[in-house]
Structure 1
Amino acid sequence: MFAVVDIAGQQIKVTENAKYYVPKLNANVESEVVFDSVLLLNDDKSTKIGTPFIGGVKVHAKILEHLKDDKVIVFKKKRRISYKKTRGHRQSLTRIEITKIV
């Protein structure tokens, strides 16, 4: 069984007892969050597609930790002008574990 869930603007395919990195959520560590914006649900027998969401289906997840992703370096340069600029970015993430799909 799997579901496609909209989490903080990203569509993520989730299964039970799996761990995922998602954009940072405003909740405490070890707390439970419920996602009710399920776009697609597939049990082994049938597939349900929402328009845009499926009513009555919820995904329960537990927050494991908040962390930052690896640094991405952005380097800009223009030839013969003595223009160089280096910037870095680290995205804030939340690691969740899907406990059940109801």
Structure 2
Amino acid sequence: MSFAIIKTGGKQYKVRAGEILKVERLDKKSTSPKIEFKDVLAYGDDKTAEIGSPKIDGAKVEANLVKNGKNRTVLIFKKRRRKNSRRKNGHRQEFSLIKINKIFSKDGKVFSEVKESVADTKKKEIKKEAKTK
């Protein structure tokens, strides 16, 4: 299995082609759902591995933005004894769901990519037929 280690949102993730990942929210201003991660720290497969110092120039990971959302509420409750002082606060962390499509090596060649399943191609054909009717 081919993999890549990318850095986004101050964290590092080990990703594979076709994987769906929950990362810190990405600011997406354009209408295109494609995202490129250029901070590739390492990539490889079962036999070989390429490790950067600190990152690999020219290597990138291409992904699609599935959706942006918020996690469940985390409650923060602070109470000071015998002072009649309490404070209740909540926080919902924002996240982005992304699907990894392709991993490119440092020379720009496709190192790994998603193979489309039969079910996905049938769904696309059905959508095209529905649009033409």
Question: What is the percentage of aligned positions where both structures have the same residue?
Answer: 36
Unaligned runs of 5+ in 2: 105-133
TM-score when scaled to structure 2? 0.72
Among 66, 69, 79, the residue aligned to 1:77: 79
Q: Is the 8 A contact 1:59 1:98 kept in 2?
A: yes
- Deviation of 1:41 after TM superposition, in Å, equals 1.1
Question: 1:30 Cα shift?
Answer: 5.8
Deviations 1:33-79 (A, max 9, x none): 11011011121211221111012211000001110011110111111
Following TM superposition, the consecutive aligned residue runs of length 4 or more in structure 1 with deviations greater than 2 angstroms are: none
Q: TM-score, normalised to structure 1's length? A: 0.92
Match of 2:62, SS state, is: strand
CA distance in 2, matches of 1:44, 1:82: 61
State the structure with bigger RCO (CA 8 A, min sep 6), 1 or 2.
1
2:88 alignment counterpart: 86
Aligned length: 102
Instruction: Name the structure with the higher helix share.
Output: 2
Max radius of gyration: which structure? Answer: 2
5+ long unaligned stretches in structure 1: none
The equivalent of 1:11 in structure 2 is: 12
Higher percent of residues as strand: 1
Residue of structure 2 equivalent to 1:99: 101
- With over 3 angstroms needed to count, the CA separation of the structure-2 counterparts of 1:44 and 1:13, relative to structure 1, is same
